[in-house]
């Protein structure tokens, strides 16, 4: 299997094959903790870290593990890494750890992680694999952050409240009150709000893709040379 370039990997992870918007993986934490920007960012970064480390480890052991036992082996790696992250969060960001609660151990069951481990890391070199894990994790964290930010904004009228839970005392006054005297919009904070906002984000992404495709189509006759280089491999990753 050919090794994709870092640029391709980045575009895939952040946009074309975004775990949250396109693959729709890991929705449980995505919807569960996205009620404020700080919760979303905390879990997003933790997931990205686990994803990058697990891809690295899986790629390192890819020659040792037989196909028959690869899944239990990968799950063991992921579970161990998640436990490590949980311990570290408990030690250094205790209050955030309490807020995120059950969603930290649940990172283990996030399908994005096992999916990337088995689908990508097991077939690629460590450096490429860990970059893919990192960028996929960033794609996930970014959607989580946008979702959390939007829900916090619509729900409470402010943004980035309680950031000190993640970044320490420096971030205590990062809160931006966008609408002062805002009555609050309950639906945005409650779980249904997560589904609605995620749906809108997916729609927005598809709309942008559509427009890009239309523009590319309109440009095509002027650049016929490029079309010859298009290749379809037919492999779904």
Contacts with another protein by CB under 8 A lie at: 32-33, 35, 61, 64-66, 68-69, 72-73, 76-77, 79-80, 83-84, 87-88, 90-92, 94-95, 98-103, 155-156, 162, 184, 186, 189-191
* Minimum distance from residue 14 beta carbon to another protein (Å): 28
Tell me how far apart the alpha carbons of residues 165 and 92 are, in angstroms, rounded to a whole number: 10
Structure tokens at 110: 């996030």
- 142 contact partners, CB below 8 Å, separation of at least 6: 14, 44
* Minimum distance from residue 178 beta carbon to another protein (Å): 16
Shorter beta-carbon distance to another protein: residue 20 or 85: 85
* Minimum distance from residue 121 beta carbon to another protein (Å): 15
Shorter beta-carbon distance to another protein: residue 100 or 121: 100
Helices 37-60 and 126-156: angle between axes, nearest 10 degrees: 170
Tell me how far apart the alpha carbons of residues 148 and 69 are, in angstroms, rounded to a whole number: 38
* Minimum distance from residue 58 beta carbon to another protein (Å): 11
Shorter beta-carbon distance to another protein: residue 135 or 159: 159
Shorter beta-carbon distance to another protein: residue 2 or 66: 66
Structure tokens at 223: 């650049």
> 66 to each of 61, 62, 63, 73, 108, how far by Cα in Å?
10, 8, 8, 9, 22
């Amino acid at each position: 299997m050919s090794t994709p370039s870092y640029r391709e990997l980045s575009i895939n992870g952040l946009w074309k094959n975004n775990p949250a918007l396109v693959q729709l993986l890991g929705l449980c934490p995505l919807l569960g903790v996205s009620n404020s920007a700080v919760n979303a960012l905390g879990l997003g970064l933790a997931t990205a870290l686990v994803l990058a480390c697990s891809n690295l480890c899986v790629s390192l052991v890819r020659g040792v593990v037989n196909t028959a036992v690869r899944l239990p082996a990968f799950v063991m790696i992921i579970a161990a890494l998640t436990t490590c992250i949980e311990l570290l969060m408990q030690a250094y960001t205790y209050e955030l750890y309490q807020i995120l609660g059950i969603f930290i151990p649940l990172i283990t069951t996030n399908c994005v992680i096992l999916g990337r481990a088995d689908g990508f890391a097991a077939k690629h070199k460590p450096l490429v694999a860990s970059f893919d894990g990192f960028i996929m994790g960033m794609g996930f964290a970014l959607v989580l952050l946008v979702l959390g930010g939007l829900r916090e904004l619509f729900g409470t009228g402010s943004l980035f409240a309680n950031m000190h839970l993640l970044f320490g005392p420096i971030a205590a006054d990062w809160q931006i009150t966008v609408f002062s005297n805002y009555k609050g919009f309950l639906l945005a904070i409650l779980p249904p709000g997560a589904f609605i906002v995620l749906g809108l984000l997916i729609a927005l992404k598809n709309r942008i893709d559509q427009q890009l495709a239309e523009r590319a189509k309109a440009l095509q006759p002027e650049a016929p040379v490029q079309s010859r280089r298009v290749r379809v491999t037919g492999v779904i990753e």
